[in-house]
Structure 1
């Protein structure tokens, strides 16, 4: 790995010039926001092998952050490899259903409610496994993301005022309207290295170390490595590395490694990329003949060949009200999100077929403290404590940090 410049560690006593640069790039550089990662902890198995360490001019961390912030790439296309290694137990597919429910997704189509093409449900599949995406963009009004599956494809297209989701497996279409100049829909679910970088690199403060860790070549492009690490103890995050295109400043690869070591939790990167203008036809879409079309413009009513079907998603959103009182305690990498479910007596997940709470509890660690007792559910990145009196504490922090937060809130 070619050394670049590691003399610019961002310590608490360094000058205002670096701090100003950090603020100007605030929306690009932060420790992983706890709930953002919890909701979208989409990771990738390390799918890309760097093909060399190019010899590039030296650059400081501040200059590289500025390069990302000033990047104004409007047109691009390429292929992204994405996968996740959270270390979750195998629940036989149950985890995917739970994540879809947590997202507020309207269902999976078929004879049930909602649409298999709704992006709020479909894109949650990225939280586990390995995936290949094709992406294209032509300014703020035209973007396309396609999730390639076994003998099937899911596409999300934003073209002017229209947003289309199409699931070829079920032959279902989801349609809604976007305001002029809107960014790619469903931005809450990161799918490209830039999406990950935007979420993970929003702000730099004295809890963070930022350095340039050499160079790389990603998708045939020369790049610098920006390395972001927590200075605080108690975080489950080891380091975040962003490979930044040396010419355009575009993030080409995002890797998040856990403090516990081992394989990356998140590793998203381009295998192919072009900054040429995509063909206009890339963003054209007409619902295929016979497809079920669900309109998402306020009425959320399904239509098939112009005929409306009954259905309302409002009731399905009621479950999200439990998070109305969400608060964040702590700061920087040790931020912990907490809310009260209002439930008492442990995990509030009884089902008609049995006690789901008891089943999930078998995967957790029982803990006690001044707060009482509860269960900690652990992944390689995000951990959550659910107390027996219904309170939830979640963050990219250790089990001990969660117990300490619960004790402090007693």
Structure 2
């Protein structure tokens, strides 16, 4: 019997998203979690124990030093899940060890967004390429099984007969993130546009691109028209609620981040036809929990998907005393009434498919299509959207956004001033 090989994965970042990735690993065959690193050793040890207890790793090491993680001989690849404002320093620490020969990494995968600006995203890509590493951009939605299968059928049955699709709509909405740094424009790099439209625009590009093709090769950006707003959290009552909940958050009555963003991205596809991605995101949605919705329209066909239209629902009456939690759906806002139930969020949102695909490709020395180049392209699209929102004008390509920093990230944007 041939001994099965496995990719040794080090998780860098033990927060909310790190926990999500570890839970998803139960559906991964070609990789095992061998180490966890966090700025706080206690958090790294806790997530390492969770990995062991859930059967996705054995003798999982815990570190509070990036260099120690990279130099661990069991670590073949690192999943970078740290906050946006740490990205440059973290990637430099990793790639310096590889270039110096003190570490023998094969690959790196980095969570969205790749950077807070085009300049940061480009620096990340250049450092990783200089180190000679395989790389993947952790955009989970393009691995969501509902999207992947619908796209396959649309292109095989619809586009093959009637022509390529022309309009993709993608939306991501919830009531707001879990950590202070997300709410501060400088550390996040903006607000909901940077935090969540990175998902929506890439999901839209994915749907409009034929399976097996790179989005950047098939879709050439032409223009973007965007709007941002502070709808809920800039109101005095909710700005005070933010400050009570997240110590250290900025005063949203003075320097808010946008909690709503809408953008229309225009492209020309590989057939020379105009196509459009409509993306909408918000931190001001109050419903059962996180809502992801997608549509794809073509000449004689369409598809749609909504994560709150679940196969299972349950009802809990007002007579039941309920503790707050997120056991039914991410960003859960209620524990009573008729509630949607997602049986496995890691699968539905694409984390399991993402990690399974990247582990298999990295193990076999293959470069994923959804690479850090994709991440840079997404940041360029987001920064163009910010520029459009700030100027109130449509932004057209070609354009140079390398030095552009959104007013939200600079702390100078306040639509209520």
**TM-score, with normalisation over the residues of structure 2?**
0.22
Whichever of the two has the greater Rg, that structure is: 1
Q: Which is richer in strand?
A: 1
Q: Which is richer in helix?
A: 2
**TM-score, with normalisation over the residues of structure 1?**
0.22
